[in-house]
Structure formats: structure tokens, C-alpha cells
Amino acid sequence: MSARVRHGRGHREPPGTRGGRAARPAVLRFAALAGASALVLSAALATPLNPSPRRAEAEEGKKVLTVAVAQSVDSLSPFLAVRLSSTSIIRLMYEYLTDYDPGDAHPVPGLATKWSSSADKLTWTYTIRSDATWSDGQKVTAKDAAWTFNKMMTDEAAATANGSFVGNFRKVTAPSPTRLVVELKKPQATMTALDVPIVPEHVWSKVGDLAKFNNDKTFPVVGDGPYVLTGYKADSYVRMKANKKFWRGAPKFDELVFKYYKDGDAAVAALRKGEVSFVSGLTPAQSASLAHQPDIKVNDAPGRRFYALAVNPGARAKDGTAMGDGDPSLRDLKVRQALFRAVDRETLVDKVFQGHAVEGAGYIPPRFSTYFWKPSADQELGYDPAEAARLLDEAGYKKNAAGKRLGKDGKPLSYRLLCHATDPNDKAVGQYLKEWWGKLGIGVTLDCLDNVSDPWLAGTYDLAFDGWSVNPDPDFVLSIHTCGALPATPKETGATDNFICDKTYDSLYARQLAEYDPARRADLVKRMESRLYDLGYMNVMAYPNAVEAYRTDQIAGIRTMPAKAGNIYGQDGYWSWWSAKPAKSDGSSDGSSSTGVVIGVVAGVVVLVGVGAVLALRRRATAEDRE
């Protein structure tokens, strides 16, 4: 895992969207990095696990939408969750102060109906809606929001997932039930993009140690989002029911089930048979095979995530203690630049993604045009194997008689490359890297794991496939490369994506965060991307498309985001699942209008398979977000 993920959050896609890593709550890696997780959903009109391939109405008249996920849930606590799978579920459980418009992603009311800043930009006042209630019947008030933010400001565990949003907060108060006041230490440009789930004080104030509370034992879980959590079994399912009290209006489906499902080909087969309704994260071969199938439509939209190669910069904690065992040669800028020079992005887009992607450049995907950056001609580290070899020679890494590059210790250079076992893109790209770097005299060992979080968090890797689902406001995915995101000590977990710490980058980050002028802030963000590119620790190889397929005879309609050429899975919000409309028994709409793509509903269980993705995610999307 948009993200984060963390916030976004940015979702990290595997290894960590809101879009990153994951297993330890504080990291944001989402495991869906490259291959994108395939998501299949089916509407069962019977019981949630009704095996019937045909639709229709359940015996009890309930309409059940089942979404298959390939990524495990790391936590269902909004204070801890960083994986795309987790943060996407939590987004359905709890509202934010503001939401993103599904059309063009500009800020729109969430819990807050309006907001304003003082002349000095240091005080923000939010008007909290009076028509929102928690699912247990109690009113949602500004006091709930104040408690949430204050908890994050004073409890380290509570700041695990989204702490970067409140690091600049001086004081948060609730003068009245409908008035929230946030005082800042210095101006903060993300005040209309605080992707922090607001929780009910009367429930969470009774929780002891937030670091150990995963919000997954007592059901139903009190929330104020479009769905209420009613059941959970690790690596099996997450069950939710429509919140009839949701202020924006109840979802059209009575129940929503996220079912853990790993095999992408099986999901596609189920789609063909009408046993599931929707699949995301399709491989090129799967997409091509579905292109002309009756009642199936393939949606190929510009993606909101990037696919990258992360280099271990010499992992360390804030206290300066070294972590892990990354190869010391990778701390040499010329070596990192040589590895860049030996990667042919055009070939990867053509051969691996088969055209369903755009060549990578800067850290923010071209979908977000305001912040999109690419290197100038004289800055670009384009494909040039001869220059790569020259850089290695110049850095003192010469070939021996056997053609192997030798490290400073006299041993042949050989790098461990972390990849996601369920992501076919990782494996395919890995084979190209072995070939290209092999010609340079460098060995590569693909270390493909179901769980990349542990070695990633420990810094026991040389390189790793990385990716995040970026949010409309890029602050989160930028924050995970600051020195402040490093873990406090090797025994703790930070919000860092890749242990990068650069004072120049940090200075630019602080400036963009305090800049309210859109044009000037965009310029600072682009300078940050330029700096990140020059450091050579993050090689963005591609921006994958969101390739999805759905049955047009089963779901009457569902919103895409953005409205034009947008995706369905992994949105910045809850629009897709909240808006989904069941089709009638004849496959037609129920008469209500729909926005975006029309897709189908199926009876029985649905599956969302990650074809190599993990999510958003703000968070890593860290990791395992990946988004």
C-alpha cells in the first residue's frame, strides 16, 4: 500500500498506499508495490458465503458485496494500521474532518462542514456537523475530534500511523460540540487534507495500551462511517454492515465482506463464471483474456501509484545506531547511479507491464499534474550500460578476471533484492535486473517472501521493490523520507519508508509544509522530488495503470475516482463501496442513477486478489503500501 497508504495517507503497496510496509504498525509499507493487488468483489444475494454462482436476493433479502483481498490486515486500529488493505477498511469505519471530491479530489466536507484559518495562518477553526451520530446512537461532536488529535499528540503509540499530521500542532480544543480549534506552531498546508480517522472518545478513552489494541475483538465496533465492522478473522475475512445512520446516506448493499484470497488466476476464472463481480490488479495477460468476454468490461485507468526500486542507504535509527546489514557499496552515490543507468524503463513498460504503465521519473505520478516532476535532460539517469560500467570503475569497483565486480573487501558484489512472492511484476522485473546488472559484473539474488516487512523494518536487505499509492496532497509520501521518520532506536518502529535521512531534503519538506501558496508549494515539492532523484536511493521505474475488470450484468453502478478515466479500487475515500448499486435480477439498474463505471454483482463470495499489490497507502502502503 493513498496512503500511510499512512495517511493519505499514502498507501504503500507492498512492501508498505496509507499508501506501505506493514507488519509493524509504524511503518507504512504496503505490499502491493508492483503487481498491484487484484481485487475481486462479488455481490451475494444470499448469505455472505452463498456458493451459488447466480445472484440474487438472499433468503433474508440482504444484499452482500464481497471484496477479495490478497493483503493481510496488519491492524484494525486507526492509530496503528498502515497497510492499504487495513486503511481502506478503516476508511469505511470512521470519517475524517474533510473528504476528497470523487470528481477532481478537491477538499469537501466530511465531519467538518466548513473551515477557516486566522490571518497569521496559525489557528484553524472547523465547524463540526450536527447531523452525525456514532453507530451506537451517541452524537459525534468536536470533542471526539479534539480527543483523537490530543491522543496522537501525547501518546507515542497513537501517533504510529498518522503522527506526521499532528507533529506541528500546538493545541487542540473543542469550545463547543460543533467547534474544533487547532493551534499550530507554524503554518501547515495540509489542514484541509488531514487524513486522520476521528474516533469516539467514549469508546477509545477506555482503551489501555493503544500499542497492543487492534480493535478486532468486540463487535460491532462503534464507528460513524458508511459501514460498521461486525466480524474479523485473521487472513480469512472482514465483515461489515451498512451504517443506516451514516450522515451522507446508507450504502445500497446491506453487507460488505472482505475475503482474504491469494490466487489471481482463480479470481479471474471466478469472474468469467459469474461467481465474482470485480477484479483489480490484472496482469496484461489476464486483461487481454477478458477484453472480449460477454458481460465483462476491462477498465484501464491512469494509476495513482508508482513502482520503484529502493536502495538500503545504510539503515539507522534517530539515535545514530546502525541497523541491518545492507551492502556498504550502496552508500556510494556512483554505485547507486550506475544501478540507475543499467535499468531500461522502456523495456520494463513494454515487456513486463505490456503498455499498461508509463515510464517512471519523479516520485509523484503524472496523474497528479500539479506535483508531477521529471528530470531535465542533463540530470536524467537514462539507460546507458556503458556509463554504468564507467561509474563503477571510477568508484573503484573493478572487474576481476572472471568478470565479477569486486567490493572494497575483495569479494564479488552480489545484492539481495527483496520481492513480494505474490507479485508477478516483482519477479519479472527481477529477472531483467539480474540480466542487466549481471552484465556489469554484479550478482543479484531475488529474495521473494510472503512477508517482506520484517527484513525491511530491520534493514536486512540491499534493495527492495517498493511502491506507494499517492494521495491528492503528497505530504505523507514525502514525509516518510525525512530524518524525523526514522525509528527512535533499532528496537522501535518509525514511519520511514527506506531509512533515508538528508538535511537538504528535510529543509525543503519543512518549507513546503508551511507554504500556503499553491504554486510556490508545488515548486518546493518538485525540488524535493529532484533531490530524492539525485540521491539515487529511490529509482521510480514505472507508474502502473489501474487495470480492473467487472461484470456489467451484476452491479448496476459504482463511482470511479476521478470521475473521468478513474479507478474503482484503492480510491482516496469510500466512494466506490459506498456508492455501489446492486443490479436487479435481470441485470438492470434499480432505477437510481450511477456515477462512473457500471459493474456487476454476483451471488456467493467475492474475491479481491492481489496480483502483486499491497497497498495505498499512505502507509506502506508500507509495507506490505504496498497502497
Stretch 101-129: mean pLDDT: 96
Report d(CA 244, CA 250) in Å as an integer.
5
Residue 587 has a pLDDT of 54
**pLDDT for 341 beyond 60:** yes
CATH class of 98-204: alpha beta
The residue among 5 and 180 whose pLDDT is bigger is 180
**Which residue intervals of the chain bear CATH 3.10.105.10?**
306-544
**Which residue intervals of the chain bear CATH 3.90.76.10?**
98-204
Stretch 462-471: mean pLDDT: 93
Per-residue model confidence as pLDDT tens digits over 134-156: 999 999 999 999 999 999 999 99
Give the burial string for 572-592 (b: 16+ CB within 10 Å, else e). Answer: bbbbbbbbbbbbeeebeeeee
The residue among 588 and 496 whose pLDDT is bigger is 496
Residue 497 has a pLDDT of 93
**pLDDT for 201 beyond 80:** yes
Nearest to 20, CA basis, from 498, 448, 470, 497: 497
CATH class of 11-93+211-304+555-609: alpha beta
Residue 187 has a pLDDT of 96
The DSSP secondary-structure symbol of 133 reads B
Residue 565 has a pLDDT of 87
563 C-beta neighbours (distance < 10 Å), count: 14
The residue among 334 and 613 whose pLDDT is bigger is 334
pLDDT confidence tier of residue 44, bands split at 50, 70 and 90: very low
Nearest to 247, CA basis, from 146, 114, 109: 109
Highest-pLDDT range among 7-11, 31-35, 238-242: 238-242
Cβ–Cβ under 8 Å, residues 345 and 530: no
Residue 588 has a pLDDT of 56
Per-residue model confidence as pLDDT tens digits over 54-90: 333 344 678 888 777 777 899 999 999 988 889 989 9
For 306-544, the fitting CATH number among 3.40.50.1820, 3.90.700.10, 3.40.50.300, 3.10.105.10 is: 3.10.105.10
φ, ψ at 117 (rounded to 5°) = -115, 155
pTM: 0.81
Stretch 125-132: mean pLDDT: 98
Highest-pLDDT range among 3-12, 67-76, 103-112: 103-112
As given in the structure block, the three cell numbers for residue 63 are: 444484499
Mean pLDDT lowest for which of 50-59, 92-101, 543-552? Answer: 50-59
CA distances from 122 to 97, 164, 169, 566, 614 (A): 18, 17, 9, 35, 37
Per-residue model confidence as pLDDT tens digits over 480-522: 999 999 999 998 888 899 999 999 999 999 999 999 999 999 9
**pLDDT for 234 beyond 80:** yes
Mean pLDDT lowest for which of 192-201, 219-228, 283-292? Answer: 283-292
Residue 564 has a pLDDT of 85
Per-residue model confidence as pLDDT tens digits over 22-34: 333 333 333 333 3
Average pLDDT of the chain?
A: 84
Report d(CA 292, CA 294) in Å as an integer.
6
Residues of the chain with pLDDT > 90, as a percent, come to 66
Residue 414 has a pLDDT of 97
Cβ–Cβ under 8 Å, residues 343 and 433: yes
CA distances from 286 to 326, 549, 570, 615 (A): 36, 9, 19, 20
Residue showing cell 499550530: 184
Per-residue model confidence as pLDDT tens digits over 348-390: 999 999 999 999 999 999 999 999 999 999 999 999 999 999 9
Per-residue model confidence as pLDDT tens digits over 555-577: 788 899 998 889 988 889 999 99
CA distances from 11 to 18, 387, 585 (A): 3, 35, 36
**pLDDT for 124 beyond 70:** yes
Cβ–Cβ under 8 Å, residues 602 and 585: no
Residue 125 has a pLDDT of 98
CA distances from 568 to 82, 109, 229 (A): 20, 21, 21
pLDDT confidence tier of residue 583, bands split at 50, 70 and 90: confident
The DSSP secondary-structure symbol of 346 reads H
Residue 468, SS3?
strand
Mean pLDDT lowest for which of 211-215, 279-283, 448-452? Answer: 279-283
Per-residue model confidence as pLDDT tens digits over 253-277: 899 888 786 778 888 888 888 777 8
pLDDT confidence tier of residue 36, bands split at 50, 70 and 90: very low
Nearest to 29, CA basis, from 17, 42, 45, 44: 17
Cβ–Cβ under 8 Å, residues 47 and 603: no
